Amino acid sequence: MNAPLALPIDRLRDRFAYDYIHVTPVTPTIGAEISGIDLRSPVSPEAAADIRKALHDWRVIFFRDQQIDNDQLKAFGRAFGPLTPAHPIAEGLEDHPEIWERSVEEYRARRQRTDTLPPSREPPPDYKGWHIDITFVANPNRYSFLHGVEIPPYGGDTLFTNLIEAYRGLSPAIQQLIDGLQAVHRTSAYDSGGERKPRRDGRATGPFVSLHPLVRIHPETGEKLIFLNPGTTSHIVGLKERESQALLDLLFYEITRPEYQVRFHWQPKSLVVWDNQAVAHAGPIDYAQFDLPRAVRRITVAGELPQGPDGFRSRALEGDLFNVLG
Ligand SMILES: [Fe+2]
């Protein structure tokens, strides 16, 4: 006899229904490889709709061997909405202000700093690199696109975890407790990059502080997710410090359970797209252990103000919204 299905059969069938792309799931809960599409050519609205569906079904999608240049990367991103500048604080490429190039040296320096800190009751500085992109602004980006430019033969993998599954896995009493809470997210020392330099576009470089619901309603699918950013959530509003920290620790444990995760091994020209409204990610996780060049380029599609189950909308406490490049 077959093992019982973890999901209703109609949802399983639906998650495999695509007309314009091939979708090969990597795990039952998160991650799928997409093939049958060459992103050097413009993506048709029908194919873009299929890709967006795959993103909502599988939360993070992986394309292999996409020989695209910077303009083609941006054109692909724009099929899913207007692009933001590269980052609210860091600069983009000179000729492509939407593109943020990251090299492994930055990660390695950060890891060495945070791994040598003494124990304290202060919030852990980065929970080993797990984060949601740019939640220190009130309107974090909707999707993130990361293209492998220089990829080492081993090492440098990226981890993703499904925040919707993590919410579903909680007992109803804990769900009810966190449904009505809000948390403060602020720029970490890492986001600020040490000393701030003026931006070419003259925009303020922070500090950024935002108030977000602790549970977010996904704006496109209506699902609930744990909207905890281990990298930048400083505390939960209205709780005592020890209560806030204990609850954040519990939720961090829950969102990073291995059964909600997928681990992506890069190859040159791999392209990863994740739904930044549904996943947290960490990577590369082993930069202290290897010394090979690695560079990736990121673009982000603009997002809206997150909303909680009680209708609470995120708002900025300090700093501007994440703007859109015209
Ligand atoms: Fe990130």
- pLDDT tens by residue, 265-301: 999 999 999 999 999 999 887 877 778 889 999 999 9
What pLDDT, on the 0 to 100 scale, is given for residue 119?
63
Distance 146 CA to ligand 1 centre (A): 9
Strand partners, 102: 296
Pairwise pLDDT comparison (57 vs 114), residue with the higher score? 57
pTM above 0.85, yes or no: yes
Which amino acid, one-letter code, is at 150?
E
Query: 22 CA distance to ligand 1 centroid (A)?
Result: 26
Residue 183 Cα to ligand 1 midpoint, Å, equals 20
Question: What would the pLDDT profile of 186-241 be if each residue is shown by its tens digit?
Answer: 987 566 555 567 788 777 887 899 999 999 999 999 999 999 998 899 999 999 99
Calculate the average pLDDT of the chain. 89
Are 178 and 244 in contact by the 8 Å Cβ rule? The answer is no
pLDDT, residue 285, reads 79
What's the rounded mean pLDDT across residues 134-163? Answer: 96
Res. 254 pLDDT band, cuts 50 70 90: very high
Question: Residue 44 — very low, low, confident or very high, per pLDDT cuts 50/70/90?
Answer: very high
Q: Using an 8 Å Cβ cutoff, are 314 and 139 in contact?
A: yes
Q: Is 206 in contact with 109 (CB distance < 8 Å)?
A: no
**How buried is residue 36: exposed, middle or buried, by Cβ count under 10 Å (0-12/13-18/19+)?**
exposed
Domain residue ranges of the chain, discontinuous segments joined by + = 9-318
Fold of 9-318: Double-stranded beta-helix (3.60.130)
Mean pLDDT to the nearest integer, 30-54: 97
Q: Which residues are catalytic?
A: 131, 133, 281, 298
Q: Which residues make up the environment of ion ligand 1, defined by Cβ < 5 Å? A: 133
- Are 159 and 285 spatial neighbours (Cβ–Cβ below 8 Å)? yes
